[in-house]
A and B are shown apart, each in its own frame.
Chain A
Amino acid sequence: MFSSNARNLIRSSLINRCKSTLVVAEHNNEALNPITLNTISAAKKIGGDVTVLVAGTKCGPASEALTKVEGVAKVLVAENAAFKGFTPESITPLVLAAQSQFKFTHILAAATAFGKNVLPRVASKLDVSPISEIIDVKSEDTFVRTIYAGNAILTLRSTDPVKVITVRGTNFAPVAATGGSGAIEQAPTGDYASQLSEFVSQELTKSDRPELTGAKVIVSGGRGLKSGDNFKLLYDLADKFGAAVGASRAAVDAGYVPNDLQIGQTGKIVAPQLYIAVGISGAIQHLAGMKDSKTIVAINKDAEAPIFQVADIGLVADLFKAVPELTGKL
Protein backbone atom coordinates (compact mmCIF):
# COMPACT_ATOMS: atom_id res chain seq x y z
CA MET A 1 0.00 0.00 0.00
CA PHE A 2 1.17 3.49 -0.80
CA SER A 3 1.24 6.02 1.95
CA SER A 4 -0.97 8.96 1.10
CA ASN A 5 2.15 11.08 0.63
CA ALA A 6 3.57 8.71 -1.92
CA ARG A 7 0.24 8.55 -3.66
CA ASN A 8 0.09 12.33 -3.86
CA LEU A 9 3.61 12.40 -5.17
CA ILE A 10 2.79 9.97 -7.95
CA ARG A 11 -0.42 11.79 -8.72
CA SER A 12 1.24 15.18 -8.91
CA SER A 13 4.09 13.89 -11.03
CA LEU A 14 1.58 12.39 -13.44
CA ILE A 15 -0.18 15.70 -13.70
CA ASN A 16 3.14 17.48 -14.09
CA ARG A 17 4.05 15.27 -16.98
CA CYS A 18 0.77 16.12 -18.73
CA LYS A 19 0.98 19.85 -18.18
CA SER A 20 2.57 22.06 -20.79
CA THR A 21 2.26 25.78 -21.15
CA LEU A 22 2.64 28.04 -24.15
CA VAL A 23 3.62 31.61 -23.34
CA VAL A 24 3.02 34.09 -26.15
CA ALA A 25 6.01 36.42 -25.92
CA GLU A 26 5.68 40.14 -26.29
CA HIS A 27 8.35 42.06 -28.18
CA ASN A 28 8.68 44.89 -30.67
CA ASN A 29 10.96 43.16 -33.22
CA GLU A 30 13.94 44.79 -31.50
CA ALA A 31 13.77 43.55 -27.93
CA LEU A 32 11.81 41.28 -25.64
CA ASN A 33 9.27 43.09 -23.45
CA PRO A 34 10.44 42.22 -19.90
CA ILE A 35 6.83 41.57 -18.83
CA THR A 36 7.23 38.25 -20.67
CA LEU A 37 9.53 37.20 -17.77
CA ASN A 38 6.69 37.80 -15.28
CA THR A 39 4.38 35.74 -17.47
CA ILE A 40 6.89 32.87 -17.59
CA SER A 41 7.00 33.07 -13.80
CA ALA A 42 3.23 32.42 -13.69
CA ALA A 43 3.71 29.55 -16.16
CA LYS A 44 6.31 27.99 -13.84
CA LYS A 45 3.89 28.25 -10.95
CA ILE A 46 1.38 26.20 -12.95
CA GLY A 47 4.10 23.57 -13.47
CA GLY A 48 5.06 21.49 -16.47
CA ASP A 49 7.07 22.39 -19.55
CA VAL A 50 7.21 25.98 -20.71
CA THR A 51 7.34 26.77 -24.43
CA VAL A 52 7.51 30.38 -25.59
CA LEU A 53 6.20 31.55 -28.95
CA VAL A 54 7.87 34.51 -30.67
CA ALA A 55 6.03 35.86 -33.67
CA GLY A 56 6.94 39.00 -35.58
CA THR A 57 8.65 40.41 -38.62
CA LYS A 58 12.02 40.10 -36.85
CA CYS A 59 12.28 37.52 -34.09
CA GLY A 60 16.05 37.21 -33.62
CA PRO A 61 16.58 39.50 -30.61
CA ALA A 62 13.58 38.25 -28.60
CA SER A 63 14.13 34.57 -29.33
CA GLU A 64 17.87 34.80 -28.55
CA ALA A 65 17.05 36.42 -25.23
CA LEU A 66 14.40 33.79 -24.47
CA THR A 67 16.73 30.82 -24.97
CA LYS A 68 18.70 32.12 -21.96
CA VAL A 69 15.66 32.64 -19.74
CA GLU A 70 15.41 30.35 -16.75
CA GLY A 71 12.79 27.63 -17.11
CA VAL A 72 12.15 27.96 -20.85
CA ALA A 73 12.38 24.55 -22.53
CA LYS A 74 11.63 25.56 -26.07
CA VAL A 75 11.32 28.74 -28.13
CA LEU A 76 9.03 28.54 -31.15
CA VAL A 77 9.90 31.14 -33.74
CA ALA A 78 7.55 32.44 -36.43
CA GLU A 79 9.21 35.18 -38.46
CA ASN A 80 6.94 36.39 -41.20
CA ALA A 81 5.81 39.63 -42.81
CA ALA A 82 2.26 38.53 -41.98
CA PHE A 83 2.85 39.47 -38.33
CA LYS A 84 3.49 43.15 -39.05
CA GLY A 85 1.87 45.11 -36.25
CA PHE A 86 1.10 41.89 -34.35
CA THR A 87 -2.53 41.96 -35.50
CA PRO A 88 -4.75 39.43 -33.68
CA GLU A 89 -6.16 38.29 -37.02
CA SER A 90 -2.66 37.02 -38.01
CA ILE A 91 -1.34 35.87 -34.60
CA THR A 92 -4.47 33.86 -33.69
CA PRO A 93 -4.18 31.25 -36.50
CA LEU A 94 -0.49 30.83 -35.63
CA VAL A 95 -1.27 30.13 -31.95
CA LEU A 96 -4.00 27.71 -33.05
CA ALA A 97 -1.54 25.89 -35.34
CA ALA A 98 0.98 25.61 -32.48
CA GLN A 99 -1.80 24.40 -30.18
CA SER A 100 -2.96 21.78 -32.64
CA GLN A 101 0.62 20.45 -32.99
CA PHE A 102 1.72 20.48 -29.34
CA LYS A 103 -1.58 20.21 -27.38
CA PHE A 104 -0.71 22.65 -24.63
CA THR A 105 -2.83 22.58 -21.48
CA HIS A 106 -2.29 26.28 -20.79
CA ILE A 107 -1.80 29.30 -23.07
CA LEU A 108 -0.56 32.45 -21.37
CA ALA A 109 0.27 36.03 -22.27
CA ALA A 110 0.82 39.18 -20.25
CA ALA A 111 -2.26 41.30 -19.58
CA THR A 112 -1.01 44.15 -21.77
CA ALA A 113 -2.76 45.84 -24.70
CA PHE A 114 -1.24 43.07 -26.88
CA GLY A 115 -2.20 40.12 -24.67
CA LYS A 116 -5.70 41.44 -24.00
CA ASN A 117 -6.25 41.94 -27.72
CA VAL A 118 -5.05 38.52 -28.87
CA LEU A 119 -5.83 35.91 -26.22
CA PRO A 120 -9.64 36.19 -26.06
CA ARG A 121 -9.69 35.72 -29.84
CA VAL A 122 -7.59 32.56 -29.44
CA ALA A 123 -9.80 31.29 -26.59
CA SER A 124 -12.95 31.78 -28.61
CA LYS A 125 -11.50 29.75 -31.48
CA LEU A 126 -10.73 26.96 -28.98
CA ASP A 127 -14.23 27.36 -27.52
CA VAL A 128 -12.90 27.99 -24.02
CA SER A 129 -13.55 30.80 -21.58
CA PRO A 130 -10.41 32.90 -21.09
CA ILE A 131 -9.32 34.06 -17.65
CA SER A 132 -8.23 37.69 -17.55
CA GLU A 133 -5.47 39.25 -15.47
CA ILE A 134 -4.77 36.54 -12.92
CA ILE A 135 -2.93 37.67 -9.81
CA ASP A 136 -2.19 34.17 -8.46
CA VAL A 137 -2.12 30.50 -9.42
CA LYS A 138 -3.62 28.10 -6.85
CA SER A 139 -3.33 24.98 -8.98
CA GLU A 140 -3.38 23.98 -12.61
CA ASP A 141 -7.09 24.84 -12.89
CA THR A 142 -7.64 27.29 -10.05
CA PHE A 143 -6.73 30.95 -10.39
CA VAL A 144 -7.19 34.21 -8.56
CA ARG A 145 -8.19 37.51 -10.18
CA THR A 146 -9.68 40.80 -9.11
CA ILE A 147 -13.15 42.05 -10.03
CA TYR A 148 -15.00 45.34 -9.41
CA ALA A 149 -11.90 47.52 -9.87
CA GLY A 150 -9.91 45.47 -7.38
CA ASN A 151 -12.55 45.71 -4.66
CA ALA A 152 -13.16 41.95 -4.59
CA ILE A 153 -10.91 38.97 -5.14
CA LEU A 154 -12.33 36.06 -7.09
CA THR A 155 -10.95 32.55 -6.86
CA LEU A 156 -12.27 30.43 -9.71
CA ARG A 157 -11.88 26.95 -11.07
CA SER A 158 -11.89 26.63 -14.82
CA THR A 159 -13.65 23.57 -16.20
CA ASP A 160 -12.35 24.09 -19.75
CA PRO A 161 -9.85 21.61 -21.22
CA VAL A 162 -7.38 24.34 -22.20
CA LYS A 163 -6.80 27.31 -19.92
CA VAL A 164 -6.24 30.56 -21.79
CA ILE A 165 -4.97 33.16 -19.37
CA THR A 166 -3.63 36.69 -19.24
CA VAL A 167 -1.27 37.44 -16.38
CA ARG A 168 -1.00 40.62 -14.33
CA GLY A 169 2.75 41.19 -14.44
CA THR A 170 3.02 43.06 -11.14
CA ASN A 171 1.83 40.00 -9.20
CA PHE A 172 4.53 37.61 -10.41
CA ALA A 173 8.24 38.22 -9.86
CA PRO A 174 10.13 37.96 -13.16
CA VAL A 175 12.15 34.79 -13.78
CA ALA A 176 15.90 35.20 -14.28
CA ALA A 177 16.86 36.35 -17.77
CA THR A 178 19.98 34.16 -17.64
CA GLY A 179 20.87 30.58 -16.82
CA GLY A 180 18.42 28.88 -19.17
CA SER A 181 19.16 26.76 -22.19
CA GLY A 182 16.03 26.67 -24.32
CA ALA A 183 16.09 25.19 -27.79
CA ILE A 184 14.99 27.21 -30.80
CA GLU A 185 12.49 25.53 -33.08
CA GLN A 186 10.46 26.70 -36.07
CA ALA A 187 6.79 27.32 -35.30
CA PRO A 188 4.35 25.53 -37.60
CA THR A 189 4.33 27.31 -40.94
CA GLY A 190 1.19 28.43 -42.68
CA ASP A 191 -0.43 31.28 -44.50
CA TYR A 192 -1.04 33.64 -41.63
CA ALA A 193 -1.55 36.84 -43.59
CA SER A 194 -5.05 38.13 -42.89
CA GLN A 195 -7.11 40.11 -45.35
CA LEU A 196 -9.37 41.34 -42.57
CA SER A 197 -7.13 43.98 -41.05
CA GLU A 198 -3.88 45.77 -41.63
CA PHE A 199 -1.46 47.60 -39.36
CA VAL A 200 -0.87 51.15 -40.56
CA SER A 201 1.25 53.06 -38.07
CA GLN A 202 2.15 53.71 -34.46
CA GLU A 203 2.62 56.91 -32.55
CA LEU A 204 4.54 56.07 -29.42
CA THR A 205 4.99 58.56 -26.62
CA LYS A 206 8.69 59.36 -26.49
CA SER A 207 10.21 59.12 -23.06
CA ASP A 208 13.65 58.56 -21.55
CA ARG A 209 12.04 57.52 -18.30
CA PRO A 210 11.53 53.93 -17.18
CA GLU A 211 8.46 52.11 -18.47
CA LEU A 212 5.53 52.64 -16.09
CA THR A 213 4.63 49.00 -15.45
CA GLY A 214 8.23 48.07 -14.65
CA ALA A 215 9.29 51.21 -12.73
CA LYS A 216 10.54 50.96 -9.12
CA VAL A 217 9.34 54.46 -8.34
CA ILE A 218 6.39 56.31 -9.86
CA VAL A 219 5.46 59.94 -9.42
CA SER A 220 1.87 60.46 -10.47
CA GLY A 221 -0.21 63.58 -10.97
CA GLY A 222 -3.90 64.38 -11.06
CA ARG A 223 -6.29 67.22 -11.68
CA GLY A 224 -4.59 69.17 -8.89
CA LEU A 225 -1.68 69.92 -11.23
CA LYS A 226 -4.04 72.31 -13.09
CA SER A 227 -2.13 72.21 -16.42
CA GLY A 228 0.16 70.13 -18.58
CA ASP A 229 2.97 72.63 -18.05
CA ASN A 230 2.81 72.13 -14.30
CA PHE A 231 3.66 68.44 -14.80
CA LYS A 232 7.23 69.74 -15.08
CA LEU A 233 7.18 69.85 -11.26
CA LEU A 234 6.61 66.08 -11.29
CA TYR A 235 9.25 65.42 -13.94
CA ASP A 236 11.78 67.29 -11.79
CA LEU A 237 10.81 65.25 -8.74
CA ALA A 238 10.85 62.02 -10.78
CA ASP A 239 14.41 62.79 -11.95
CA LYS A 240 15.56 62.61 -8.33
CA PHE A 241 14.37 59.01 -8.12
CA GLY A 242 14.91 57.88 -11.72
CA ALA A 243 11.14 57.44 -11.57
CA ALA A 244 8.44 57.00 -14.17
CA VAL A 245 5.64 59.57 -14.35
CA GLY A 246 2.00 58.51 -14.34
CA ALA A 247 -1.36 60.22 -14.14
CA SER A 248 -4.96 59.87 -13.05
CA ARG A 249 -7.79 59.76 -15.56
CA ALA A 250 -8.72 63.34 -14.68
CA ALA A 251 -5.26 64.55 -15.72
CA VAL A 252 -5.47 62.61 -18.99
CA ASP A 253 -9.00 63.77 -19.78
CA ALA A 254 -7.96 67.37 -19.11
CA GLY A 255 -5.24 66.89 -21.73
CA TYR A 256 -2.32 67.45 -19.32
CA VAL A 257 -0.60 64.21 -20.40
CA PRO A 258 -1.12 61.46 -23.01
CA ASN A 259 -3.51 58.59 -22.24
CA ASP A 260 -0.81 55.92 -22.05
CA LEU A 261 0.28 57.45 -18.73
CA GLN A 262 -3.07 56.65 -17.12
CA ILE A 263 -2.92 54.46 -14.04
CA GLY A 264 -6.12 52.74 -12.90
CA GLN A 265 -8.81 50.19 -13.60
CA THR A 266 -8.83 51.00 -17.30
CA GLY A 267 -5.26 52.20 -17.63
CA LYS A 268 -2.13 50.54 -16.38
CA ILE A 269 -1.87 48.48 -13.20
CA VAL A 270 1.36 49.27 -11.36
CA ALA A 271 2.95 48.09 -8.13
CA PRO A 272 6.22 49.98 -7.64
CA GLN A 273 8.28 50.16 -4.44
CA LEU A 274 7.29 53.79 -4.06
CA TYR A 275 4.24 55.55 -5.49
CA ILE A 276 3.97 59.30 -4.98
CA ALA A 277 0.45 60.59 -5.72
CA VAL A 278 0.37 64.33 -6.21
CA GLY A 279 -2.91 66.22 -6.52
CA ILE A 280 -4.83 62.94 -6.92
CA SER A 281 -8.02 62.54 -4.90
CA GLY A 282 -7.97 58.73 -5.03
CA ALA A 283 -11.14 57.60 -6.82
CA ILE A 284 -11.92 53.83 -6.69
CA GLN A 285 -10.88 53.51 -10.34
CA HIS A 286 -7.47 55.07 -9.70
CA LEU A 287 -6.81 53.05 -6.55
CA ALA A 288 -7.47 49.89 -8.61
CA GLY A 289 -4.30 50.61 -10.54
CA MET A 290 -1.85 51.39 -7.72
CA LYS A 291 -2.97 50.08 -4.35
CA ASP A 292 -0.54 47.15 -4.46
CA SER A 293 2.38 49.60 -4.41
CA LYS A 294 4.78 48.88 -1.53
CA THR A 295 4.81 52.40 -0.14
CA ILE A 296 2.29 55.06 -1.10
CA VAL A 297 2.94 58.74 -0.48
CA ALA A 298 0.13 61.25 -0.99
CA ILE A 299 0.50 64.99 -1.33
CA ASN A 300 -2.86 66.74 -1.42
CA LYS A 301 -4.26 69.94 0.05
CA ASP A 302 -7.59 68.27 0.87
CA ALA A 303 -7.19 66.34 4.13
CA GLU A 304 -10.45 64.47 3.36
CA ALA A 305 -9.21 63.09 0.02
CA PRO A 306 -9.72 59.29 -0.13
CA ILE A 307 -6.09 58.84 -1.23
CA PHE A 308 -5.06 59.37 2.41
CA GLN A 309 -6.92 56.18 3.37
CA VAL A 310 -4.44 54.08 1.42
CA ALA A 311 -1.34 56.27 1.78
CA ASP A 312 1.44 55.13 4.10
CA ILE A 313 2.76 58.66 4.31
CA GLY A 314 0.48 61.63 3.78
CA LEU A 315 1.27 65.31 3.53
CA VAL A 316 -1.60 67.77 3.56
CA ALA A 317 -0.13 70.69 1.66
CA ASP A 318 -0.31 72.81 -1.48
CA LEU A 319 1.53 70.75 -4.08
CA PHE A 320 2.85 73.87 -5.81
CA LYS A 321 4.86 74.63 -2.65
CA ALA A 322 5.49 71.13 -1.33
CA VAL A 323 6.71 69.44 -4.52
CA PRO A 324 9.47 71.97 -5.40
CA GLU A 325 10.54 71.97 -1.76
CA LEU A 326 10.66 68.15 -1.73
CA THR A 327 12.63 68.09 -5.00
CA GLY A 328 15.07 70.60 -3.54
CA LYS A 329 15.63 68.61 -0.37
CA LEU A 330 16.25 65.23 -1.97
Chain B
Amino acid sequence: MSRVLVGVKRVVDYAVKVRVKPDKTGVVTEGVKHSMNPFDEIAVEEAIKLKEKKIASEIIAVSVGPTQSQEVIRTALAMGADRGVHVEVSGKDYDLLQPIHISKILAKLALDEKADLIIVGKQAIDDDSNQTAQMTAAVLDWPQGTFCNKVEKTDAGLNITREIDGGLETIKTKIPAVLSADLRLNTPRYATLPNIMKAKKKPLKKVTPKDLGVDTTPRIEVLSVEEPPVRQAGALVPDVDALVGKLKEGGHV
Protein backbone atom coordinates (compact mmCIF):
# COMPACT_ATOMS: atom_id res chain seq x y z
CA MET B 1 0.00 0.00 0.00
CA SER B 2 1.44 3.29 -0.96
CA ARG B 3 0.76 6.92 -0.31
CA VAL B 4 0.39 9.15 -3.35
CA LEU B 5 1.20 12.83 -3.58
CA VAL B 6 -0.54 14.64 -6.45
CA GLY B 7 0.58 18.07 -7.63
CA VAL B 8 -2.20 20.31 -8.90
CA LYS B 9 -1.81 23.80 -10.39
CA ARG B 10 -4.37 26.56 -10.71
CA VAL B 11 -4.12 27.98 -14.24
CA VAL B 12 -6.08 30.23 -16.56
CA ASP B 13 -8.82 28.00 -17.98
CA TYR B 14 -7.81 26.27 -21.21
CA ALA B 15 -10.73 27.78 -23.14
CA VAL B 16 -9.80 31.38 -22.32
CA LYS B 17 -8.03 33.36 -25.01
CA VAL B 18 -5.37 35.11 -22.93
CA ARG B 19 -4.49 38.77 -23.42
CA VAL B 20 -1.06 40.28 -22.95
CA LYS B 21 -0.85 43.26 -20.55
CA PRO B 22 -0.18 46.57 -22.34
CA ASP B 23 2.96 47.13 -20.20
CA LYS B 24 4.33 43.77 -21.45
CA THR B 25 4.97 42.41 -17.96
CA GLY B 26 2.72 39.39 -18.28
CA VAL B 27 -0.74 38.26 -19.29
CA VAL B 28 -4.00 39.50 -17.80
CA THR B 29 -5.03 37.08 -15.05
CA GLU B 30 -7.31 39.27 -12.93
CA GLY B 31 -10.99 38.54 -13.45
CA VAL B 32 -10.16 35.67 -15.78
CA LYS B 33 -11.61 32.20 -15.26
CA HIS B 34 -9.11 29.80 -13.67
CA SER B 35 -9.33 26.08 -13.14
CA MET B 36 -7.22 23.02 -12.45
CA ASN B 37 -4.54 22.40 -15.08
CA PRO B 38 -6.12 19.73 -17.36
CA PHE B 39 -3.12 17.40 -17.07
CA ASP B 40 -3.36 17.58 -13.28
CA GLU B 41 -6.98 16.42 -13.41
CA ILE B 42 -5.64 13.34 -15.18
CA ALA B 43 -2.99 12.94 -12.46
CA VAL B 44 -5.64 13.13 -9.71
CA GLU B 45 -7.84 10.64 -11.56
CA GLU B 46 -4.95 8.17 -11.83
CA ALA B 47 -4.25 8.46 -8.11
CA ILE B 48 -7.91 7.78 -7.34
CA LYS B 49 -7.89 4.76 -9.65
CA LEU B 50 -4.86 3.41 -7.75
CA LYS B 51 -6.76 3.86 -4.51
CA GLU B 52 -9.81 2.12 -5.93
CA LYS B 53 -7.58 -0.80 -6.89
CA LYS B 54 -6.26 -0.81 -3.30
CA ILE B 55 -2.77 0.00 -4.53
CA ALA B 56 -2.77 3.44 -2.92
CA SER B 57 -3.77 3.95 0.70
CA GLU B 58 -4.04 7.71 0.81
CA ILE B 59 -3.98 10.59 -1.67
CA ILE B 60 -2.57 13.97 -0.73
CA ALA B 61 -3.26 16.86 -3.12
CA VAL B 62 -0.69 19.65 -3.11
CA SER B 63 -0.85 23.05 -4.73
CA VAL B 64 1.67 25.87 -4.59
CA GLY B 65 0.41 29.40 -5.15
CA PRO B 66 -1.76 32.20 -3.80
CA THR B 67 -4.81 31.67 -1.58
CA GLN B 68 -6.98 30.88 -4.61
CA SER B 69 -4.92 27.72 -5.17
CA GLN B 70 -7.03 26.21 -2.42
CA GLU B 71 -9.87 26.07 -4.96
CA VAL B 72 -8.02 23.48 -7.04
CA ILE B 73 -7.12 21.51 -3.92
CA ARG B 74 -10.84 21.44 -3.04
CA THR B 75 -11.56 20.21 -6.56
CA ALA B 76 -9.03 17.39 -6.10
CA LEU B 77 -10.61 16.56 -2.72
CA ALA B 78 -14.03 16.49 -4.34
CA MET B 79 -12.73 14.10 -6.99
CA GLY B 80 -11.50 11.74 -4.27
CA ALA B 81 -8.23 12.94 -2.75
CA ASP B 82 -8.10 12.48 1.04
CA ARG B 83 -6.42 15.65 2.21
CA GLY B 84 -4.72 18.73 0.92
CA VAL B 85 -1.57 20.77 1.44
CA HIS B 86 -1.50 24.38 0.30
CA VAL B 87 1.97 25.86 0.00
CA GLU B 88 1.35 29.57 0.01
CA VAL B 89 3.35 31.78 -2.35
CA SER B 90 1.83 34.99 -3.68
CA GLY B 91 2.45 38.24 -5.50
CA LYS B 92 5.77 38.83 -7.24
CA ASP B 93 7.26 35.71 -5.64
CA TYR B 94 4.61 33.58 -7.33
CA ASP B 95 5.11 35.32 -10.70
CA LEU B 96 8.75 34.23 -10.70
CA LEU B 97 8.21 30.79 -9.19
CA GLN B 98 9.43 28.02 -11.48
CA PRO B 99 9.40 24.22 -11.66
CA ILE B 100 12.80 24.16 -9.92
CA HIS B 101 11.13 25.60 -6.82
CA ILE B 102 8.01 23.47 -7.09
CA SER B 103 10.09 20.31 -7.47
CA LYS B 104 11.97 21.02 -4.25
CA ILE B 105 8.70 21.68 -2.44
CA LEU B 106 7.09 18.48 -3.75
CA ALA B 107 10.21 16.45 -2.91
CA LYS B 108 10.32 17.75 0.66
CA LEU B 109 6.60 17.10 1.15
CA ALA B 110 6.93 13.60 -0.30
CA LEU B 111 9.61 12.78 2.26
CA ASP B 112 7.73 14.44 5.13
CA GLU B 113 4.51 12.64 4.23
CA LYS B 114 6.29 9.35 3.43
CA ALA B 115 4.79 9.19 -0.05
CA ASP B 116 5.83 6.40 -2.42
CA LEU B 117 4.50 7.91 -5.58
CA ILE B 118 4.23 11.45 -6.90
CA ILE B 119 1.96 12.10 -9.85
CA VAL B 120 1.78 15.43 -11.68
CA GLY B 121 0.54 16.52 -15.10
CA LYS B 122 3.06 16.41 -17.93
CA GLN B 123 2.94 20.18 -18.31
CA ALA B 124 1.02 23.20 -17.08
CA ILE B 125 -0.85 24.95 -19.88
CA ASP B 126 0.26 28.41 -18.71
CA ASP B 127 4.07 28.24 -18.66
CA ASP B 128 4.20 25.12 -20.89
CA SER B 129 7.44 24.09 -19.17
CA ASN B 130 7.11 20.31 -18.85
CA GLN B 131 9.79 20.09 -16.14
CA THR B 132 8.28 19.49 -12.69
CA ALA B 133 8.07 15.67 -12.68
CA GLN B 134 11.57 15.26 -14.09
CA MET B 135 13.06 17.72 -11.61
CA THR B 136 11.22 16.27 -8.62
CA ALA B 137 12.48 12.81 -9.53
CA ALA B 138 16.02 14.21 -9.74
CA VAL B 139 15.81 15.91 -6.33
CA LEU B 140 14.71 12.63 -4.75
CA ASP B 141 16.88 10.38 -6.94
CA TRP B 142 13.74 8.45 -7.83
CA PRO B 143 12.99 7.03 -11.27
CA GLN B 144 10.73 9.05 -13.53
CA GLY B 145 7.89 7.84 -15.73
CA THR B 146 7.04 10.83 -17.89
CA PHE B 147 4.22 11.27 -20.44
CA CYS B 148 2.39 8.22 -19.04
CA ASN B 149 -0.18 6.55 -21.24
CA LYS B 150 -0.67 3.50 -18.97
CA VAL B 151 0.56 2.62 -15.49
CA GLU B 152 0.43 -0.87 -13.99
CA LYS B 153 1.61 -1.96 -10.57
CA THR B 154 3.71 -5.12 -10.54
CA ASP B 155 5.41 -7.00 -7.72
CA ALA B 156 8.71 -5.36 -8.57
CA GLY B 157 7.45 -1.82 -9.16
CA LEU B 158 5.65 -0.23 -12.08
CA ASN B 159 5.18 -1.05 -15.75
CA ILE B 160 4.72 2.23 -17.59
CA THR B 161 3.73 2.86 -21.18
CA ARG B 162 4.95 6.28 -22.30
CA GLU B 163 3.98 8.47 -25.23
CA ILE B 164 7.09 9.18 -27.31
CA ASP B 165 7.60 10.90 -30.66
CA GLY B 166 7.38 7.82 -32.86
CA GLY B 167 4.74 5.92 -30.89
CA LEU B 168 4.78 4.26 -27.47
CA GLU B 169 7.46 2.75 -25.27
CA THR B 170 7.33 0.59 -22.18
CA ILE B 171 9.62 0.95 -19.21
CA LYS B 172 9.83 -0.64 -15.77
CA THR B 173 10.58 1.46 -12.74
CA LYS B 174 11.06 0.77 -9.08
CA ILE B 175 8.90 2.40 -6.43
CA PRO B 176 9.17 5.11 -5.12
CA ALA B 177 8.79 6.95 -8.41
CA VAL B 178 7.57 10.19 -9.98
CA LEU B 179 5.06 10.05 -12.82
CA SER B 180 3.72 12.65 -15.22
CA ALA B 181 0.32 12.17 -16.81
CA ASP B 182 -0.21 12.52 -20.54
CA LEU B 183 -3.59 13.25 -22.11
CA ARG B 184 -4.56 9.69 -22.80
CA LEU B 185 -3.76 8.16 -19.41
CA ASN B 186 -7.43 8.33 -18.41
CA THR B 187 -10.60 10.41 -18.51
CA PRO B 188 -10.94 12.44 -15.32
CA ARG B 189 -14.23 12.11 -13.44
CA TYR B 190 -16.46 15.03 -12.55
CA ALA B 191 -16.83 16.01 -8.94
CA THR B 192 -20.44 15.40 -7.91
CA LEU B 193 -22.31 17.92 -5.76
CA PRO B 194 -22.39 15.68 -2.63
CA ASN B 195 -18.65 15.11 -3.02
CA ILE B 196 -18.02 18.83 -3.41
CA MET B 197 -19.88 19.34 -0.13
CA LYS B 198 -17.90 16.56 1.56
CA ALA B 199 -14.63 18.00 0.25
CA LYS B 200 -15.22 21.15 2.28
CA LYS B 201 -14.77 19.10 5.44
CA LYS B 202 -11.60 17.30 4.38
CA PRO B 203 -8.39 18.51 6.02
CA LEU B 204 -6.33 21.17 4.24
CA LYS B 205 -3.01 22.14 5.75
CA LYS B 206 -1.30 25.42 4.95
CA VAL B 207 2.48 25.81 4.89
CA THR B 208 5.04 28.14 3.32
CA PRO B 209 8.20 27.27 1.36
CA LYS B 210 10.13 28.63 4.34
CA ASP B 211 8.47 26.09 6.65
CA LEU B 212 9.73 23.42 4.27
CA GLY B 213 13.21 24.92 4.08
CA VAL B 214 12.91 25.61 0.35
CA ASP B 215 14.61 28.69 -1.10
CA THR B 216 12.45 30.40 -3.72
CA THR B 217 14.95 32.94 -4.98
CA PRO B 218 14.05 33.74 -8.62
CA ARG B 219 16.22 32.14 -11.33
CA ILE B 220 14.99 34.29 -14.19
CA GLU B 221 14.10 37.87 -14.97
CA VAL B 222 11.10 38.47 -17.19
CA LEU B 223 12.23 41.05 -19.75
CA SER B 224 8.98 41.16 -21.69
CA VAL B 225 5.78 39.32 -22.51
CA GLU B 226 4.43 40.20 -25.94
CA GLU B 227 1.68 39.31 -28.37
CA PRO B 228 2.71 36.78 -31.00
CA PRO B 229 2.99 38.20 -34.53
CA VAL B 230 -0.39 38.38 -36.23
CA ARG B 231 -0.76 36.37 -39.41
CA GLN B 232 -1.74 38.21 -42.57
CA ALA B 233 -5.42 37.68 -43.14
CA GLY B 234 -6.01 35.16 -45.91
CA ALA B 235 -8.79 34.84 -48.41
CA LEU B 236 -11.49 32.33 -49.11
CA VAL B 237 -11.53 30.64 -52.48
CA PRO B 238 -14.85 29.68 -54.07
CA ASP B 239 -13.97 26.18 -55.27
CA VAL B 240 -11.34 23.48 -55.64
CA ASP B 241 -10.14 24.86 -58.99
CA ALA B 242 -9.37 28.22 -57.38
CA LEU B 243 -7.57 26.41 -54.55
CA VAL B 244 -5.43 24.48 -57.05
CA GLY B 245 -4.70 27.80 -58.79
CA LYS B 246 -3.55 29.39 -55.50
CA LEU B 247 -1.36 26.39 -54.66
CA LYS B 248 0.26 26.66 -58.11
CA GLU B 249 0.74 30.40 -57.62
CA GLY B 250 2.47 29.72 -54.32
CA GLY B 251 4.78 27.19 -55.96
CA HIS B 252 3.43 24.33 -53.87
CA VAL B 253 2.51 22.13 -56.85
Contact = CB atoms under 8 A, between A and B. Distances in A.
Contacts of B163: 113, 259-260
A315 B220 contact: no
Contacts of A195: 174
Interface stretch (B65-73, B78-86, B95-103, B206-214): B95-103
B237 interface: yes
Interface in B180-232: 182-184, 218-228, 231-232
Contacts of A297: 243, 247
B170 A201 contact: yes
Interface stretch (A7-15, A72-80, A181-189, A321-329): A321-329
A186 B243 CA distance: 55
Interface stretch (A50-58, A63-71, A142-150): A142-150
Interface string B87-114: 0000000000011100100000000000
A97 interface: no
B138 A268 contact: no
A161 to B, nearest CB: 10
Interface string A244-264: 000001001100001110000
Nearest to B187: A253
Contact of B174 (A142, A157, A197): A197
Contacts of A253: 183-184
Contacts of A205: 166-167
A149 B165 contact: no
Interface string B43-76: 0000000000000000000000000000000000
A113 B165 contact: yes
Contacts of B155: none
A125 B145 CA distance: 17
Contacts of B184: 252-253, 259
Nearest to B107: A124
Contact of B235 (A112, A118, A148, A313): A313
A156 B247 CA distance: 39
Nearest to A261: B167
A329 B244 contact: yes
B220 A202 contact: no
Contacts of A316: 236
Contacts of B27: 147-148, 151-152
Contacts of B169: 85, 199-203
Contacts of B147: 113, 117
B131 interface: yes
A155 B139 contact: no
Contacts of A118: 134
A153 B228 contact: yes
Contacts, number: 251
A284 interface: yes
Contacts of A217: 252
B243 A152 contact: no
A83 B173 CA distance: 15
Contact of B167 (A125, A203, A303): A203
Interface residues of A, number: 91
Given A132-B129, A142-B223, A315 B240 contact: yes
B252 to A, nearest CB: 5
Nearest to A156: B220
Contacts of A142: 223
Interface in B127-163: 127-132, 134-139, 141-147, 149, 159, 162-163
Given A260-B166, A329-B244, A158 B144 contact: no
Nearest to B173: A197
Contacts of B141: 196
Contact of A265 (B128, B224, B240, B253): B128
A40 interface: no
A197 to B, nearest CB: 4
22 contacts: A85-B171, A113-B163, A129-B98, A130-B129, A149-B125, A152-B225, A152-B228, A155-B222, A159-B220, A198-B173, A200-B171, A203-B169, A205-B167, A213-B165, A241-B252, A241-B253, A249-B183, A259-B163, A273-B252, A284-B15, A313-B237, A314-B237
Interface of A: 85, 87-89, 92, 112-114, 116-125, 127-133, 142, 145-160, 194-205, 213, 217, 240-241, 249, 252-253, 258-260, 265-266, 268, 273-274, 284-285, 291, 295-297, 303, 308-317, 322, 325-326, 329-330
Interface of B: 12, 14-15, 17-18, 20, 27, 39, 98-100, 103, 122-123, 125-132, 134-139, 141-147, 149, 159, 162-174, 177, 182-184, 218-228, 231-237, 239-244, 246-247, 250, 252-253
Given A201-B170, A265-B125, 9 more contacts: A85-B171, A120-B132, A132-B130, A156-B220, A156-B222, A200-B172, A202-B169, A249-B183, A253-B183
Ranked 9 nearest A-B pairs via Cβ: A124-B138, A120-B134, A129-B219, A196-B143, A312-B234, A124-B135, A120-B131, A197-B143, A200-B170
